[in-house]
């Protein structure tokens, strides 16, 4: 018997398992494949709440909270696990090519400065002084000094190891096939012939969350959004910072490769790369940094992000089942928001304190479609 069963072993599920176990809960984590090998593995590891946000609101506020909590989390995890998580809060440069792009960048820069964020406006020449190999076509940019990146694979592994060290029971290759219910609550989670009795279930199954919820006739509207990426190398990395352009981003990694991403494709559960996607990413990288024309394509990959109808995460009790807690729908921000989601979920379950979760993230905001 567990206090909590966490369904899903990506960064959100591992963070929930770690924080719950740290709070003293008896936790079982069920992952249908291997932990950290779905959307978490496919990410670029950026921590960019400000650069990516279209404007003020609950998503930006939650993202900034998540970013500010990262240094303490990294110290905590590296004190428990012998892993280099490659936390690099060295800043992100967002650039544009033309006057329309500059107008939009100016608008964003205005409200961001109004809120007191540490960002700087750079003209095209200054952008190239900052990153000398940027294209001469770059017209302007904004540098956000407090954002950065992390090795998403190492972070997920550290959270998993720390959760297990705290007593969490990790079950890989364990697909959820059903639930037992009674008295208006879920009493256990089934995987084939095996059953896991529990008091509370955390649904952190990423793009598959909607399918898992449907086994209970619950409505959690998460759909897969494919993202393709490529890794370029064969040369000294021509950039030092993350560079975000109109068509994608470039992320230099500690191993000398540069990740270029990412497509946004609503194609169902087809997790595969395409020639068009790979060629488009290569063009994007070369447009931003012409030197990449001489780079070697080391490998390519794709992942399925968990998208929601309003582009906000789904965090909180699912209306149909009070002991089913959603922790999903983080779309492009799972690496940034996953650890904070784990912390607020753990506090909510163990202490009954939901104050850390924005009400706008509640699953109750969605109305289930009428059944025919």
pLDDT tens across 113-139, in order? 888 888 999 999 999 999 999 999 999
pLDDT tens track for 173-191: 999 999 999 999 999 999 9
Residue 341 lies in a domain: yes
The answer on pLDDT for 235 being more than 60 is yes
- What is the distance between the alpha carbons of residues 135 and 15, in angstroms, rounded to a whole number? 39
User: What DSSP designation does 265 have?
Assistant: B
Backbone phi and psi for residue 308, each to the nearest 5 degrees, phi listed first: -130, 165
For residue 180, the SS3 value is: strand
Task: Clarify whether residues 216 and 313 are in a common domain.
Answer: yes
Task: Clarify whether residues 215 and 330 are in a common domain.
Answer: yes
Q: Model pTM?
A: 0.96
Distances (CA, A) of 370 to 144, 314, 319: 45, 21, 15
| Cβ neighbours of residue 347 closer than 8 Å, sequence gap 6 or more | 19, 23, 353, 356
Residue 356 lies in a domain: yes
pLDDT tens track for 129-165: 999 999 999 999 999 999 999 999 999 999 999 999 9
Position 74 scores a pLDDT of: 97
Query: Helices 152-165 & 58-80, crossing angle to 10 degrees?
Result: 60
pLDDT tens track for 90-112: 999 999 999 999 999 999 999 99
Residue 172 lies in a domain: yes
- What is the distance between the alpha carbons of residues 187 and 6, in angstroms, rounded to a whole number? 14
- What is the distance between the alpha carbons of residues 156 and 54, in angstroms, rounded to a whole number? 27
Nearest one of 283, 315, 307, 313 to 297, comparing CA atoms: 283
Position 372 scores a pLDDT of: 56
How many CA atoms does the CB half-sphere of 17 hold within 13 Å? 36
Task: Clarify whether residues 40 and 66 are in a common domain.
Answer: yes
Encoding tokens for residue 291?
């030197």
Position 211 scores a pLDDT of: 97
Mean pLDDT, residues 25-41: 95
Position 51 scores a pLDDT of: 87
pLDDT grade for 281, boundaries at 50, 70 and 90: very high
Position 178 scores a pLDDT of: 97
Position 276 scores a pLDDT of: 97
Q: Could you give the angle at the alpha carbon of 345 between the alpha carbons of 342 and 324, nearest 5°? A: 120
User: What DSSP designation does 179 have?
Assistant: E
Backbone phi and psi for residue 31, each to the nearest 5 degrees, phi listed first: -125, 130
Position 62 scores a pLDDT of: 97
Distances (CA, A) of 313 to 70, 130, 361: 19, 35, 6
329, 307 Cβ separation under 8 angstroms: yes
Which residue's structure tokens are 């001489």?
294
Average pLDDT, the chain: 96
What end-to-end distance do the CA atoms of the chain give, in Å?
37
| Total number of domains constituting the chain | 2
Q: Comparing 358 with 81, which gets the higher pLDDT?
A: 358
CATH code, domain with 355? 3.50.50.60
pLDDT tens track for 313-372: 999 999 999 999 999 999 999 999 999 999 999 999 999 999 999 999 999 999 988 765
DSSP H helices in 259-333:
275-288
Backbone phi and psi for residue 32, each to the nearest 5 degrees, phi listed first: -75, -20
Task: Clarify whether residues 45 and 16 are in a common domain.
Answer: yes
CATH code, domain with 270? 3.30.9.10
Domain hosting residue 302, numbered range: 89-146+224-307
Task: Clarify whether residues 205 and 294 are in a common domain.
Answer: no
Residue 83 lies in a domain: no
| Cβ neighbours of residue 281 closer than 8 Å, sequence gap 6 or more | 228, 229, 230, 248, 260, 261, 262, 263
Say what percent of the chain tops pLDDT 90.
Answer: 92
Task: Clarify whether residues 229 and 131 are in a common domain.
Answer: yes
Task: Clarify whether residues 71 and 176 are in a common domain.
Answer: yes
The answer on pLDDT for 32 being more than 80 is yes
Mean pLDDT, residues 220-248: 95
Position 371 scores a pLDDT of: 65
Nearest one of 301, 53, 54 to 153, comparing CA atoms: 301
Which residue's structure tokens are 């780079």?
295
């Amino acid at each position: 018997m567990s206090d909590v069963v966490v369904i899903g072993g990506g960064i959100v599920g591992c963070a929930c398992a770690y924080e719950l176990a740290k709070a003293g809960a008896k936790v079982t984590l069920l992952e249908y494949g291997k932990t950290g090998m779905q959307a978490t593995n496919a990410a670029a590891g950026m921590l960019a709440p400000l650069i990516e946000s279209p404007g003020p609101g609950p998503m930006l506020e939650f993202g900034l909270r998540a970013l500010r909590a990262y240094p303490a989390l990294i110290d905590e995890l590296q004190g428990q696990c012998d892993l280099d998580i490659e936390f690099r809060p060295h800043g992100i440069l967002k650039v544009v090519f033309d006057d329309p792009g500059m107008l939009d960048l100016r608008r964003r820069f205005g409200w961001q400065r109004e809120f007191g964020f540490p960002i700087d406006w750079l003209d095209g020449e200054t952008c190239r002084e900052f990153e000398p190999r940027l294209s001469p076509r770059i017209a302007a940019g904004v540098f956000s000094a407090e954002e950065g990146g992390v090795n998403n694979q190492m972070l997920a592994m550290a959270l998993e190891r720390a959760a297990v060290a705290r007593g969490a029971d990790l079950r890989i290759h364990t697909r959820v096939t059903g639930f037992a219910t009674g008295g208006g609550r879920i009493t256990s989670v089934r995987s084939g012939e095996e059953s896991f009795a529990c008091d509370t279930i955390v649904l952190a199954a990423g793009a598959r969350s909607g399918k898992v919820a449907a086994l209970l006739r619950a409505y959690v509207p998460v759909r897969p959004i494919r993202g393709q990426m490529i890794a370029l190398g064969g040369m000294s990395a021509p950039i030092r910072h993350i560079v975000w352009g109109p068509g994608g981003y470039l992320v230099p990694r500690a191993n000398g490769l540069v990740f270029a991403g990412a497509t946004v494709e609503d194609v169902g559960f087809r997790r595969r790369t395409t020639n068009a996607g790979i060629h488009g990413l290569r063009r994007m990288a070369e447009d931003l940094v012409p030197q990449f024309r001489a780079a070697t394509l080391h490998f390519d990959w794709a992942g399925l992000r968990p998208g929601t109808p309003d582009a906000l995460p789904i965090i909180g009790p699912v209306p149909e089942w009070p002991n089913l807690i959603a922790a999903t729908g983080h779309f492009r921000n799972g690496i940034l928001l996953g650890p904070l989601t784990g912390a607020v979920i753990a506090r909510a379950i163990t202490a009954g304190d939901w104050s850390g979760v924005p009400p706008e993230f509640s699953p109750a905001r969605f109305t289930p479609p009428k059944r025919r």
